[in-house]
Amino acid sequence: MNEVWGLSGPTFLLLFVGTLAACVLLGSLHRRIAFRGRRDVPVDHLGPQQVAYLSGGAALALYSSLGGLRAAGAIGTGPKRTLVTTGALPGGVTPLDTAVYNAAAKRIRARRLAAEPWVISAIDQLHQGLEADGLTVGARPRNLVRLWAIGPALLVPIGVLRVSQALGEQPTAVFLVPLSLLALGLVFVLARKGPLATTAAVRAVHRLRDRYEHLSPRQSPAYGTYGATGAAMGVALFGAASLYAMDPAFAAEAEIQRLGAGGTSSGFAGGAGGGSCSAGSSCGGGSSCGGGSSCGGGGGGCGG
């Protein structure tokens, strides 16, 4: 049997498959350890925005803040689907609430909130606090686990080159083509960043979701009963559907994306059509209804 690069076809295949398997197994183990998190970290003390960040990232944290401020009667919508302030900023708010409220005072559209410098700073502060508590994974460990993609990335051109130089070794060429394609696919799998929240944090959020099942839109909760904190926590745990259940006109006019808890979508996208406000209020013109209950206690006030 002819040898290419000093290796027979079967030997090369064995080394190729062994290297690929090692990258996958070690990379998966590294990823599992890096994202595991501490099981003893309590989440009961977390406010709605922190829970939202763990559940759906920065976009859901912003929606949670919008939900809390809306329920507190602090913000609404104005002409051209812009946010406006409709009341004073409640006490006990978070830095993100303050940033969103100040952005609303500038009458910008909700979809542009994520680009506001104060909002960006507040989101960074939120992430840093969760990372310090061991509930999210930092940029460095997230990038390190992606380095395992280098192995399959190097194997792809090696496999292609081997096939081109060993066409006479039919069995080798036949097996190397699909193996090289497999290696290419694994590059994208191993190079993914992974979730922000640790595995332990995600499981804790699932437990919180069970505990606050009464806030689920499926239960048709009376959000006014639970105050602004309850409204913000509903959004944090059950996604933007809670905003549509609480105040469909505001959610539609603010172009709230139907982002679910645990979803992968991010940012703000075009909204849905109109609709009337929830119980006890009505809309007029281009603005949504005002009012709502004041900020409830616990959980860090309006929006957490």
**pLDDT for res 262:** 53
Q: Where are the domains of the chain?
A: 9-36+141-191, 41-136+198-304
Per-residue burial over 30-55, b = 16 or more CB atoms within 10 Å of its CB, e = otherwise: bbeebbebeeeeebeebbbbbbbbbb
Per-position pLDDT tens, the chain of length 304: 456 676 777 888 899 999 999 999 999 999 999 888 877 777 778 899 999 999 989 999 999 999 999 999 999 999 988 999 999 998 889 999 999 999 999 999 988 999 999 999 999 999 999 998 889 988 888 899 999 999 999 999 998 888 877 665 556 677 888 899 999 999 999 998 877 888 889 888 999 999 999 999 898 888 778 889 999 999 999 998 998 988 999 989 888 877 555 543 333 333 333 333 333 333 333 333 333 333 333 334 444 4
pLDDT value at residue 170? 57
The closest of 291, 301, 293, 286 to 107, measured between CA atoms, is 286
What pLDDT score was predicted for residue 69?
95
Using CA atoms, how far residue 191 sits from 56, 143, 145, 218, in Å, is 21, 9, 8, 37
Contacts of 128 (CB under 8 A, 6+ apart): none
pLDDT at 8: 77
pLDDT at 166: 65
Q: What is the pLDDT of residue 126?
A: 94
Instruction: Give the integer Cα–Cα distance in Å for 263 and 254.
Output: 20
Joined together, the tokens standing for residue 126 give: 């939120």
Residue 196, strand partner residues: none
